[in-house]
Amino acid sequence: MIEISLLRHVKVNGPPALYGHTDIAPQVVQNKSLLTALVNSQQLTPYDLVISSPLQRCQLLAEQFSKTCQIPLTCLSDFKEMNFGDFDGVAFDDLNFDDSSQSNSQGWQLLEKFWHAPDDITLPKGEPLALFHHRIITAWLELIAQQFSNLSSNKKPIKILLVTHGGVIRMILSHVLQLDWQSATLQQHLQIANGSCSQITITRPFSENNKTHSVVNYIGLPMPSTI
Amino acid sequence: MIEISLLRHVKVNGPPALYGHTDIAPQVVQNKSLLTALVNSQQLTPYDLVISSPLQRCQLLAEQFSKTCQIPLTCLSDFKEMNFGDFDGVAFDDLNFDDSSQSNSQGWQLLEKFWHAPDDITLPKGEPLALFHHRIITAWLELIAQQFSNLSSNKKPIKILLVTHGGVIRMILSHVLQLDWQSATLQQHLQIANGSCSQITITRPFSENNKTHSVVNYIGLPMPSTI
């Protein structure tokens, strides 16, 4: 059995924007609180392995946690957030509705279209949703297959912490729950909170219909009042 | 704007079983930890109203929180868990696979069928999934409509804590995210952890296509290590 906790990074140090591949720093105080919460939780239900997106808003926490609790850490580039192309890291305020310049107005219109049909609209120089989905699910299935092949013969469960991004977690949850990842409603409305943890339990790698058997379990981590 | 936090009760004081309408007590220490977490969170983002299922595993916490923080409390019977009929509150151990008695064997077979097709199979004297769905969504839409009609003219957001059950939260999430509530995969695999909190933000009551506009946000509450 494999238990994987999908932990979203804390809030970032920047104005509201689409942050995808932009390597923006996490908020220091929040990151410290989340680290403390993780280290405390390690006493009860220890992780065996930490995997992280290489972007610093994930990796800083993963490195500190790995070092503090002496758990192996692997950074996997495939678990980076979606690439929002020309919009990536550009503050929404710089695309203000009141701004009369044509380019900004067009930018907002495109963003609106993208939000309403994320599978049909690709942002300029951005990653199409279908390719993002393919990247994440391929990496996810590889991770599971590899971990199952590594499982010791005594079948002791392995517990993994995957520190990653909101869009990545949404894609994995959609896959595990067999939801329609192309749905604009799901992409828009299933928000994964900063610092929240979604727990997935996989009892066997592939069932008769080639799907993973999984249980998704939302576990609160950490308290809103602590970050 | 209305913010509603869907909080699942803590673990109950009983063996593993389907607990629906059975009024089993919550675990005292976990309930106390969750109360402390809630009271602490109230200092940052205060709730205006508490709503609770009348079953004691929800209501005890809701009453203590309401009293401690002086917030109005309403108990709504419609937010009770699904009624599992003859199976409700019967320990799984009393339906053991190894038991050779015919009735127990039949019980397990029926439970298996129910888990694989919860919308097709109704447990003896139990509540059909479709009626449960109708009860929950009707109560949910009434709650939202009432709260919007109560909103003051200055449109200050109202924040509500709804203390309820796993099946109820799953139905509400399915509705808000427009997921297929009849899906066995969703009903089986989307587990709502004890003490976890799913936050829903509703910006306006009804959109042009008569659907609520909502954002679902999973916020960790509380730390696994604290309960």
Q: What is the pLDDT of residues A15-45, one digit of tens each?
A: 999 999 999 999 999 999 889 888 988 887 7
Q: Which of residues 25-84 of B touch A (CB under 8 A)?
A: 37, 40-41, 43-45
Nearest beta carbon to residue A218 from set B43, B44, B218: B218
The first and second tokens of residue B216, run together, are 């679902």
Number of compact structural domains in chain B: 1
Residues in a beta bridge with B198: B6, B218
Could you give the CA distance from residue A126 to residue A89 in angstroms, rounded to a whole number? 12
Nearest beta carbon to residue B223 from set A192, A199, A221: A221
**Set of chain A residues whose Cβ sits within 8 Å of the Cβ of B197:** 220
Among candidate residues B197, B226, B204, B72, the one with its CA nearest the CA of residue A224: B197
For residue A214, name the pLDDT band (cuts at 50, 70, 90): low
**Set of chain A residues whose Cβ sits within 8 Å of the Cβ of B5:** none
A192, B219 Cβ separation under 8 angstroms: no
Strands A2-8, A158-164: pairing is parallel
Residues in a beta bridge with B218: A192, B198
The first and second tokens of residue B82, run together, are 């699904």
B56 phi, psi to nearest 5 deg: -65, -25
Strands B197-204, B2-8: pairing is antiparallel
Distance from CA of A225 to the nearest CA of B (A): 5
Nearest beta carbon to residue B178 from set A185, A215, A225: A185
Give the pLDDT score at A102.
Answer: 52
- Whether residue B223 and residue A37 make contact (CB cut-off 8 A), yes or no, is yes
**Set of chain A residues whose Cβ sits within 8 Å of the Cβ of B183:** 178
**Set of chain A residues whose Cβ sits within 8 Å of the Cβ of B170:** none
Could you give the CA distance from residue A136 to residue B179 in angstroms, rounded to a whole number? 21
In the predicted model, is pLDDT for residue B197 greater than 90? no
Maximum alpha-carbon separation in chain B = 66
Angle at A168 between CA A162 and CA A169, to 5 degrees: 65
Query: Is residue B135 situated within a structural domain?
Result: yes
- Whether residue B215 and residue A189 make contact (CB cut-off 8 A), yes or no, is yes
Query: Is residue B108 situated within a structural domain?
Result: no
Nearest beta carbon to residue A191 from set B178, B215, B221: B215
Query: Is residue B195 situated within a structural domain?
Result: yes
The first and second tokens of residue B72, run together, are 């109005």
Helix (H) or strand (E) run with residue B31 in it:
helix B28-44
**Set of chain A residues whose Cβ sits within 8 Å of the Cβ of B214:** 189
Tens of pLDDT, residue by residue over B111-153, are: 989 988 999 999 999 999 999 999 999 999 999 988 888 876 6
Query: Across B17-71, where does the E strand assignment appear?
Result: 49-52
Query: Is residue B133 situated within a structural domain?
Result: yes
Could you give the CA distance from residue A123 to residue A136 in angstroms, rounded to a whole number? 19
Stretch among A100-104, B42-46, B80-84 having the lowest mean pLDDT: A100-104
Chain centre distance of CA A112? 23
Residue type, B66: S
**Set of chain A residues whose Cβ sits within 8 Å of the Cβ of B212:** none
For the segment B32-40, the average pLDDT, to the nearest whole number, is 89
Query: Is residue B23 situated within a structural domain?
Result: yes
In the predicted model, is pLDDT for residue A173 greater than 50? yes
Nearest beta carbon to residue A224 from set B219, B225, B226: B219
Touching check for A224 and chain B: CB below 8 Å? yes
Rg over CA atoms, chain B: 18
B176, B214 Cβ separation under 8 angstroms: yes
Rg over CA atoms, chain A: 18
**CATH number of the domain enclosing A59:** 3.40.50.1240
In the predicted model, is pLDDT for residue A209 greater than 70? no
Nearest beta carbon to residue A220 from set B44, B189, B222: B222
A31, A223 Cβ separation under 8 angstroms: no
Query: Is residue B103 situated within a structural domain?
Result: no
Distance from CA of B30 to the nearest CA of A (A): 14
Distance from CA of A43 to the nearest CA of B (A): 8
Query: Is residue B112 situated within a structural domain?
Result: no
- Whether residue B196 and residue A40 make contact (CB cut-off 8 A), yes or no, is no
Average pLDDT of chain A is 84
- Whether residue A221 and residue B224 make contact (CB cut-off 8 A), yes or no, is yes
Q: Which domain holds residue A121?
A: 2-226
Query: Is residue B90 situated within a structural domain?
Result: no
Distance from CA of A198 to the nearest CA of B (A): 9
In the predicted model, is pLDDT for residue B96 greater than 70? no
Among candidate residues B34, B35, B12, B9, the one with its CA nearest the CA of residue B25: B12
- Whether residue A222 and residue B219 make contact (CB cut-off 8 A), yes or no, is no
